Amino acid sequence: MFQKIIITLSLLLYYNCLYKIQEENFQDLSGIWEVYVSLVSEDLQTNKNLKQKLDRWKPIPIPSNLKDFIKWNSSNEEILLRKQFDFRNVADTSFSISLGKISDQVRVFWNGQELSEELFTEYKNSIPQGYDRTRIYSISENKIFKKNEILIYIKPYFDYEYGILSGQLEIGPSAIIWKRFYLREIGGLLIFGSFLLIGGFFLFLSWREKKYGENFYFGFF
């Protein structure tokens, strides 16, 4: 009973906080994206004719493991993802975009402008490391329009998984994006702490009542 109350309260607090920070200028970017199925060229950043060839773009769900949809080998260099969408509310404020957890090195372009990652910028030009972190990028205010395009150049590191694998894909005011990020981190810590506390409680019971060995095994696992 005790452990159920702790878990329930932790989950209620976590989801209640997330619900309260929803804003009009916040937008979910998960769902259908497009992947470029031909060899990726740097010309794609500026050549509109190439980008408009619909037969070279394949719709895929994101987040997901791209290995389930396309084949990649080291000779293919980079993989290109694209998302075109209408922004419902353009406000005069600083915006950030969260792209979830990506298992690779990436370059992100927003309406033709390369974005800088707000965390771990030292990883940008290095070998892949800390690959499963959440990527958050800042966006210039004068680059946010009604119609927008995101291009993500992905350089896979593992051959069994690559792409945007998990996490929240969203755009909104920087303060809202960072609040949601920290609340998710705190929520994960609360859940982990709850299970740790429950495990410690049963280990304590097994020490106090040695004849009930199941308490030790339950608390240990």
Task: Quote the tokens at residue 18.
Answer: 């997330």
Task: Quickly state the pLDDT bin for 134 (edges 50, 70, 90).
Answer: confident
Task: Give the residue with greater pLDDT, 54 vs 60.
Answer: 60
Residue 37 has pLDDT above 60, yes or no: yes
Q: Would you call 210 helix, strand, or coil by DSSP?
A: coil
Give the residue-averaged pLDDT of 99-106. Answer: 85
Most confident of 29-38, 65-74, 129-138, 181-190: 29-38
pLDDT in tens, 183-210: 887 877 777 777 777 767 666 666 666 5
Closest CA to 88 of 33, 26, 168: 26
Give the residue-averaged pLDDT of 57-69. Answer: 92
Task: Quickly state the pLDDT bin for 21 (edges 50, 70, 90).
Answer: very low
Give the residue-averaged pLDDT of 149-172. Answer: 88
Domain 27-173 falls under CATH 2.60.120.260: yes
Residue 124 has pLDDT above 60, yes or no: no
Task: Quote the tokens at residue 107.
Answer: 């370059």
Residue 97 has pLDDT above 60, yes or no: yes
Chain mean pLDDT for the chain = 75
CB of 103 closer than 8 Å to CB of 162: yes
What is the CA angle 179-180-182, rounded to 5?
A: 65
Largest CA distance in the chain: 76
Q: How far apart are CA 47 and CA 58, in angstroms?
A: 19
What is the CA angle 163-191-12, rounded to 5?
A: 100
**Domain extents in the chain:** 27-173
Residue 52: per-residue pLDDT: 61
